[in-house]
Amino acid sequence: MLDSYFKLTENKTTVKREVIAGVTTFLTMAYIIFVNPAILADAGMDRDAVFVATCLAAVIGTLIMGLLANYPVAQAPGMGLNAFFAYTVVLGMGVPWQTALGAVFISGVLFFILSILPVREWLINSIPRTLKVAIAGGIGFFLAIIGLKNAGIIVAHPATLVTVGSLTEPTVIIAVLAFGLMVGLTHHRIPGAIMISILAATLVGVLFKITPAPGLMSLPPSLAPTFMQMDIMAALELGLLIVVFTFLLTDLFDTAGTLVGVTQGTGMLDEKGRLPRLKRALMADSTATVAGAAMGTSTTTSYIESLAGVEAGGRTGLTAVVVALLFLLCLFFAPLAGAIPAYATAPALVFVACIMARNLMDIDWKDITEYVPAIVTVLAMPLTFSIATGIGFGFISYAAIKMFSGKFRDLTIPVIIIAVLFLFKFVVG
């Protein structure tokens, strides 16, 4: 039955190989069950409820991806998008988290509509690769500054805005050592390097009585504090349309880029380099985002960590189904997830930032009209503490520089429209 449904023989794989690939993918991305609740708790959301929502959103999205699209790609609330939700929209703009969830819900619905329309590929292909790469890199730097702040390595300063913190603090030392452990384990291709390091940092904190000893297992906490709490009507206000658009745009590029990145070189692409069943894959992502918002978490997206499972031999949706089942089991580890301290998750933010920053090498560094808008985008996100502002500066600078340089052919209709919308937003407020 499994062979027939997932076409295992056709994809030259076996049940055993798919299970191993699923476990490998899960271990590389399971850190999200610790990190996502910690980030959204900063926005005032119930940490235990967010933990449940995180697990369930991952289960729903990954199951649909495996069963409907038959791809070995796992999903969960996205890094960067959760930081945008908490630190830019809720804390920065003063938007209630219920309204922010409403914006996520609307963006998921719009994403679903785009998924079934033929314009989806036109829209994705119309955005220059430079801006896609810069957005990913900029989000990485945004995560980095949050991670460094949470670890206590950088602190606020009235004269210089930021400065170095007390590097002799035990929590800072633990965070630095955990970051080094992540890099070392990843270098040796140890699955679950991030999760292992987070747990190791927590254990060290417990041993030195910096952190109370956590529980391990229990029945899943209540989802009630966040379930169906999104305020859709408030999110439809004119001033929040840019927030909805940012959620949509970032998720669209993130998912498309991840799908291509994971499947490239595996024989999953057709002869023209296109991804079969792309509509189903995008529908899985958008459906998970809608469901996740209803349960109480930020945007759900495809994880590039799925590449670890593909490298382990995963070729079909059975890999994704295994990942989904493991996320379902995580519901019983809420006491452990709730006890993970900030200094243990902070290194993960910086580490993920380093991974995302690798995208910057794909910028055309020989063309000043390409790399200048990219740098503007990357610098604006952490320095304005806003992913949306960084994206806006990127599109505006790209359009303006291309016009001043006489390279009108490089401008597409979506780029011009997005640049004008952001310019209007910045001018009018």
Q: Give pLDDT tens digits for 22-58.
A: 988 898 888 999 999 999 999 999 999 999 999 999 9
Confidence of residue 270 (pLDDT cuts 50, 70, 90): low
* Residue 229 φ then ψ, to 5°: -95, 0
**Rounded mean pLDDT, 398-410:** 93
CA 170 to chain centroid, in Å, comes to: 29
| 3-state SS, residue 429 | coil
From 46, 74, 146, select the one nearest 387 (Cα to Cα).
146
If one compares 123 and 281, the residue with the highest pLDDT of the two is: 281
pLDDT attached to residue 264: 62
**Model confidence, pTM:** 0.83
Share of the chain above pLDDT 90, in %: 44
Structure tokens at 114: 């785009």
CA distance 214 to 48: 14
CA distance 304 to 253: 12
pLDDT in tens, 197-206: 988 999 999 9
If one compares 125 and 15, the residue with the highest pLDDT of the two is: 15
pLDDT in tens, 302-322: 887 888 788 778 888 899 999
Torsion of CA 156, 45, 302, 107, to 10 degrees: -100
CB contact at 8 A, 178 and 350: no
CA distance 301 to 289: 7
